[in-house]
Amino acid sequence: MDASFVGRRFPLPGSYAVGVEKIREFADAVGETAPIHHDRAAARAAGFADVVAPPTFSFAVINRTQEVVLFDPELGLDYSRVVHGDQSFSYHRPIVAGDELTCVMEIEQIRNVAGNDMITLRADITGADGEPVVTGRAMLVSRAAETSERPEDHGSREPAGSTTGSSG
């Protein structure tokens, strides 16, 4: 990967309009059954403007931005070998239907460990009012090609707590 990309910022083209059905679909997909994710009246009764997104919904926004970064041919990342190393979110407020979100992603670090390319990305998600909504941070690993790898190594290369992930 091209290390000169560190510090470069990539905005999500346009914005991400959060819809009621998208929140319901995401909540269904991850098994979040609480009424505030599905029922507009229940969400409003709980003090929210509309149905509330589950905590990792922001990844849908981040993923769209991330593709802009990762598919940049000049970065030189082999996306076919990318898995997710780690992910964290800092929540400033919940995402609700009706939000018009923007996202800017910055490459914080690029390094190579034992042939694996590792890239650390920070995503700042902001509401239409310019206030922060979620800050995401991810480390992605483009795994080295397995020329010297033994088949039995698969899935057990990385001990718990290692910095090299393996779960996509």
- Site for another protein (CB under 8 A): how many residues? 52
| Minimum CB distance to another protein, residue 30 (Å) | 4
Cα 157 to Cα 30, 82, 160, distances in angstroms? 28, 15, 10
What does the H/E/C string look like for 81-96?
HEEEEEEEEEECCCCE
32: left (phi over 0), alpha (psi -120 to 50) or beta: beta
**Pair 20, 39: CB distance under 8 Å:** no
Among residues 5, 15, 72, 87, the one that binds another protein under rule CB under 8 A: 87
Residue 1 beta carbon to another protein: minimum distance, rounded to whole angstroms? 17
Task: Work out which of 102, 119, 126, 165 binds another protein, going by CB under 8 A.
Answer: 165
Q: What is the rounded CA–CA span in Å between residue 128 and residue 17?
A: 10
Mask of contacts with another protein, 96-135, x by CB under 8 A? ----------------------------------------
According to CB under 8 A, which one of 1, 26, 77, 133 is a site residue for another protein?
26
Q: Considering only CA atoms, which of 140, 39, 22, 132 is closest in space to residue 81?
A: 140
**Site for another protein, rule CB under 8 A:** 22, 25-26, 28-32, 34, 36, 46, 48, 52, 54-56, 59-60, 63-64, 80-91, 93-94, 137, 143, 145-146, 149, 154-156, 158-163, 165-168
